[in-house]
Structure 1
């Protein structure tokens, strides 16, 4: 049985562990955080990611914890509606197989599918890799060295495995000029159920979305071409207060709610561009290999697709990793490249740099209310032009 070490317990890692186990391999999951991360932002989930989740028996739970957003609404300083569109078009284009849910909830549900059946090392990380002819020795931050047949980096935009096996992140990261931040607050008012509200000024935006259990999610996107995101909670709060100090709408009360939170997600909006996702006995999946950017909204689904295909190709090749790695890259390269190009073009729509850009963005959003136009404009992006392979799994999935 091939032993495979997977770094990262977000979306890609647990998905890969599930399918590797189904194929008869022995996966071990290692995660730097002490537990599954539950904070973050909401994602729109559809297409091939939805199909894979269905094959994993997760759709009922995903729909239970998810949301059916009715409207995206752009508001002005006074909270008046300036533009917007109903999201029925997404439901129509996906045949009802479309849901919005917190990324942390998807991560939790994926992990529950492997809990107790896969070795999981939380509060630990890979500190070094040494490849030999018959395997890879991984030096763990806590626990000495262990040998595995393969090592897979599923550890996101700032992948430690990528840095150890391929080189510094600066070689592969393309910053798109924005920073994104998100946090949750309890008992915030007002509430607008099933509506995603957006308030924008040149180069910065605030989004508000109502969650279950009287919680509210806030999303910030702002221009920051050369900002290194702060690490400490106090520094993160100070940065957001500075950027949005003179913003209107609900900005003052949102910043007041910010002071009460003890968890903020904050990072650069970047892509990872690599000419190859594998090297020797090491491979990368998900954001570690081809991050399309957080603002693209498809990162979780693409992570699940890459995990499914890599596990399937390893199964089809009976563990012959060189053959499997080659097929993995060949199968997904053009698809992921196209997703990255589309995401790069889309990033500026969240926080246009000028008032003219805001006006044009709002006019485009208004046009989506015209019957058939939204379907024509976004139908190509919604539709997945990749046929999901059917692999043979020992466990019969």
Structure 2
């Protein structure tokens, strides 16, 4: 058979994972990425449930373990800097704040890229400018280089996907969940530990410090915010905003703010979910955060991306008509996605109180949970029902 051609927009997690599986099923794969090279920055992501199983089927579980951040669990820090409660990693369980498999986003992206680079065409420093579904193929115009046609085009370029807009206009709904975050890397100090340290203070603010495997600390500042969409502040405005909000926050806040002045990898975002009424139209489709971002609060974003890529590739390969495969992909994935997007009650305000009394109540709840057999299950990373992963090995070609 003449190989079918697919164009995937986005070279982070979902894109290379989809490329991996479609190549195994005999497709000719091109990945277009607007960044000039692979983006290896980013903070912790975790692999849970089906996402972990997909990594295992890719033969990458040992590599993921070897690239672990070394995080041993989660500690909640009180106003005096003392530990309120701690929740160590529980091997084999998916319901703790720190998963058994914790890896930096950039390290996982590198592993997926390395697993596909020999078989997949990567076009860095380019982007899709226009799409036209002609029925049997999709005509694509690029910012650089000549136009081409593909049998399938998939948007895998994240929450702020430009390709999604080209495919569906304003149809997909991006809904803020009420929290704003700033991520950055700061120098490690002798007093730092291999725990995720989570400090909560008034006005919905929190400071997080997490270890990595490079001898630095991944810091995060967050505060509760309105759910209405607002203009995206400039980089200067972002820095000023966090300097103002956190200068009296206490604990390690000033250390992080000082680090922000020297950091070259900081990233600002208003957390949101994507509630798209459909994930495909004709020969155009979406996967990962572009289709169904659950937000970092869910703890499920990476697992959804890997699982969605696996199911999309398998179903497309299993059907003669690509469009039938896309419909099957959505039928299988949507119940799982909808459950993953159901955040714990009161999120994010329950864990980010406004008042001192609220902070005290939150810490009281944390102490109760630390003494309970199930720990944080159902509060921070509520359990998601499994999705049955089909075995598509009979569709593989040349292996």
Q: Do both proteins adopt the same fold according to a TM-score greater than 0.5, normalized to the shorter chain?
A: yes
In structure 2, do the counterparts of structure 1 residues 345 and 48 end up closer, same or farther at CA, with 3 Å as the change threshold?
farther
In structure 2, do the counterparts of structure 1 residues 149 and 376 end up closer, same or farther at CA, with 3 Å as the change threshold?
closer
Indicate the SS of the match to 2:166.
helix
Cα shift readout 1:163-183 (whole Å, capped 9, x = no counterpart): 0111127x5111112111111
1:292·1:343 contact (CA, 8 Å) conserved in 2?
A: no
1:47·1:97 contact (CA, 8 Å) conserved in 2?
A: no
Say which of 237, 241, 250 aligns to 1:239.
Answer: 241
Aligned match of 2:296: 294
Cα distance in structure 2, aligned partners of 1:173 and 1:380: 21
Indicate the SS of the match to 2:371.
coil
Cα distance in structure 1, aligned partners of 2:197 and 2:138: 46
Cα shift readout 1:285-323 (whole Å, capped 9, x = no counterpart): 1111111112212101100101000000011114x1121
Structure 1 gaps of 5+ residues are: none
Say yes or no: does 1:228 pair with 2:234. Answer: no
Cα shift readout 1:149-171 (whole Å, capped 9, x = no counterpart): 111000111111110111127x5
Flag the structure with higher helix content.
1
In structure 2, do the counterparts of structure 1 residues 279 and 356 end up closer, same or farther at CA, with 3 Å as the change threshold?
farther
Deviates more, 1:197-206 or 1:56-65: 197-206
Cα shift readout 1:30-74 (whole Å, capped 9, x = no counterpart): 011112212222122221111111111111111111135333222
The alpha carbon displacement at 1:345 in A equals 5.0
Deviates more, 1:206-215 or 1:112-121: 206-215
1:178·1:269 contact (CA, 8 Å) conserved in 2?
A: yes
Aligned match of 1:28: 30
2:224·2:348 contact (CA, 8 Å) conserved in 1?
A: no
Superposed CA RMSD in Å reads 2.5
In structure 2, do the counterparts of structure 1 residues 314 and 273 end up closer, same or farther at CA, with 3 Å as the change threshold?
same
Cα distance in structure 1, aligned partners of 2:272 and 2:62: 33
Cα shift readout 1:313-349 (whole Å, capped 9, x = no counterpart): 011114x112101111110111111111236754334
Cα distance in structure 2, aligned partners of 1:378 and 1:224: 20
Deviates more, 1:386-395 or 1:57-66: 386-395
Cα distance in structure 1, aligned partners of 2:42 and 2:94: 27
**1:125-136 equivalent positions in 2, closer than 5 A:** 125-136=127-138
Aligned match of 1:200: 201
Cα shift readout 1:2-47 (whole Å, capped 9, x = no counterpart): 1110000111000000000000011110011112212222122221
Cα shift readout 1:240-280 (whole Å, capped 9, x = no counterpart): 21221221112112211111111212111101111111111
Cα distance in structure 2, aligned partners of 1:250 and 1:321: 52
The alpha carbon displacement at 1:127 in A equals 1.1
Aligned match of 2:88: 87
2:31·2:120 contact (CA, 8 Å) conserved in 1?
A: yes
In structure 2, do the counterparts of structure 1 residues 92 and 258 end up closer, same or farther at CA, with 3 Å as the change threshold?
same
Deviates more, 1:57-66 or 1:385-394: 385-394
